[in-house]
Amino acid sequence: MDLILVVTKPFDWSVERQGQTLSRHSSQEAAYKAALDYASALFEEGVRTQVTIKPEPRSFAGVTAD
């Protein structure tokens, strides 16, 4: 089974597959739609695909985890 990730970045969202960025988006909704579109296209080619959300750690200036 193949895997497509919707990765939350500090200022945008990206759609990734096998370590490569397929697209970047300014909204979460657009990233999810793109990921589902990629998964649908792969399914039509006979590739089973799972779409997963992968949050990346975020840091904010002047704020510590303590």
Tens of pLDDT, residues 24-43: 999 989 999 999 999 999 99
> Does residue 61 fall inside a structural domain?
no
> Does the pLDDT at position 14 exceed 90?
yes
pLDDT the model gives residue 46 = 95
Contact 26, 12 (CB under 8 A): yes
> Does residue 6 fall inside a structural domain?
yes
Output the average pLDDT for the chain.
Answer: 88
pLDDT the model gives residue 55 = 81
Q: Domain count of the chain?
A: 1
Residues paired with 20 in a beta bridge: 17
> Does residue 64 fall inside a structural domain?
no
> Does residue 63 fall inside a structural domain?
no
pLDDT the model gives residue 9 = 81
Phi-psi category of residue 10: left, alpha or beta, with phi > 0 → left and psi -120 to 50 → alpha: alpha
Residue at token pair 């597959």: 17
> Does residue 33 fall inside a structural domain?
yes
Look up the domain containing 42 and give its range. Answer: 2-55
